[in-house]
Copies of this chain bind each other. A is one copy, B any other.
Amino acid sequence: MAQILVLYPHPTDPEAFDKHYFGVHADLTRKIPGLRSFVVNQGAVSTPQGEGPYHLVAQLNFDSIEALHQALESPESQAAVADLANFAPEDTQVFIFDNHDVM
């Protein structure tokens, strides 16, 4: 598996953020070719010390790092990336990595 991990800091207007995220951005994301699962937190993203800096943690999983890189070149992915400018806080972080089970 391989993953795109997106950490969205607390937005100024959480209600507007959620409306755009679940009303527009999630639909664009689901269209990305090769996407195997798409998971987001419900409820708070806590830390052991209490409330954390992030409002939303999104995890997009692909079969392999090759499938992920291919997906990133698709028009569907480019549309989702372009949409970030419409709602994502400036310091949103995106990480891309190959993943393996060590259980």
Residues of chain A whose beta carbon lies under 8 Å from any beta carbon of chain B: 1, 3, 5, 22, 26, 30, 35, 37-48, 52, 54, 57, 59, 65, 93-103
Contact B98 A39 (CB under 8 A): no
Contact A42 B99 (CB under 8 A): yes
If over half of A's interface residues share one DSSP class (helix, strand or loop), that class is named, otherwise mixed; here it is strand
What is the CB-to-nearest-CB distance from A52 to chain B, in angstroms, rounded to a whole number?
6
What is the CB-to-nearest-CB distance from A34 to chain B, in angstroms, rounded to a whole number?
12
Contact B48 A98 (CB under 8 A): no
Which 8 A-B residue pairs are closest in the complex by CB-CB distance?
A41-B97, A38-B103, A45-B97, A46-B96, A43-B98, A42-B100, A42-B98, A39-B99
List of B residues within 8 angstroms of A52 by Cβ = 95
